[in-house]
Amino acid sequence: MIDYAEAISAEEWPQIVWEQGSALDLPYQSGVFDRVICQQGVQFFPDPAAGLREMGRVAEPGGSVAVTVWSELATSPYFEALAEMLIDFAQVEPGDISFTTTKTQVIKWFSEAQLPTPTVELIEAVVDLPPMSEYLTSHMKALPWAPSYFNLDDSTRKNAIKYVENRMRDYLTPAGVRTHFASYLAHSTSNSPPSRP
């Protein structure tokens, strides 16, 4: 993902520097950034509050800390179908499906991170996707449940794709699927940056 991001940004934004590090232990001094953002990642952290605490630590006093997380499954038909497929075909436990969350949970993460209560806004968008037969397998490569999906035999995987295609039939277009997605955008400000524990 870093290699791809570097390739995309190299021509238009060569000043961007890409670095890798643990979200739970950011490799930066305290209070060095005016804005710290995480797009569709916090819900995958082993400890979301710890990740947000680190974001607050590296933000300057009064700096922005903002995240987006997918909202409840029912607000995004594709994710709802994907979750059902993982449960029914890949034997993923329902409690392990963690790519969506609630507004209450997002606020709780900020509180546990000792950040001021965030503003939380529901953002909705209509997105055009390729046909599920093309998109689903590519998308699965970027999700934590990839091993469960790719360990399926070919026949079961084809049936899993057909299941998602059938669930998305109301959103079909000549080019693929047009469906809506919804996310929570949560924004807070950093207190004076705490030192590392």
pLDDT digits (tens, 9 = 90+) for 32-58: 999 999 999 999 899 999 999 999 999
- For residue 75 the two structure tokens come to 């607000």
Question: Does pLDDT of 114 surpass 90?
Answer: yes
Task: Specify if 196 maps to a domain.
Answer: no
Residue 51 maps to a domain: yes
Distance CA 88, CA 149 (A): 11
Q: Which domain holds residue 6?
A: 2-189
pLDDT at 144: 86
4 confidence band (pLDDT: 50, 70, 90): confident
Question: What is the structure's pLDDT at 143?
Answer: 86
Residue 79 lies inside a defined structural domain of this protein: yes
- Residue 39: its pLDDT value, please? 94
70 domain residue, yes or no? yes
**Cα angle at 146 between 141 and 152, to 5 degrees?**
120
Instruction: Tell me the C-alpha distance between 161 and 182, whole Å.
Output: 23
On whether residue 39 sits in a domain, the answer given is: yes
Amino acid (one-letter) located at 62: G
pLDDT at 169 over 60: yes
Check whether 185 has a pLDDT greater than 80.
yes
Residue 118 to residue 59: CA distance in whole angstroms: 15
**What average pLDDT is seen over the chain?**
92
CATH number at residue 82: 3.40.50.150
Rounded Cα distance, 47 and 44, in Å? 8
Query: Is 194 contained in some domain?
Result: no
| pLDDT tens readout for residues 56-99 | 999 999 999 999 999 999 999 999 999 999 999 999 998 888 77
pTM, full prediction: 0.84
Per-residue confidence (pLDDT) for residue 196, from 0 to 100: 52
- Closest C-alpha among 68, 99, 71 to residue 85: 99
Domain count of the fold of the chain: 1
Residue 158 falls inside a structural domain? yes
Examine the pLDDT at 24 and tell me if it is beyond 70: yes
Give me the pLDDT at residue 192, please: 54
Q: What was the pLDDT predicted at 142? A: 84
pLDDT at 134: 93
Residue 103 lies in a domain: yes
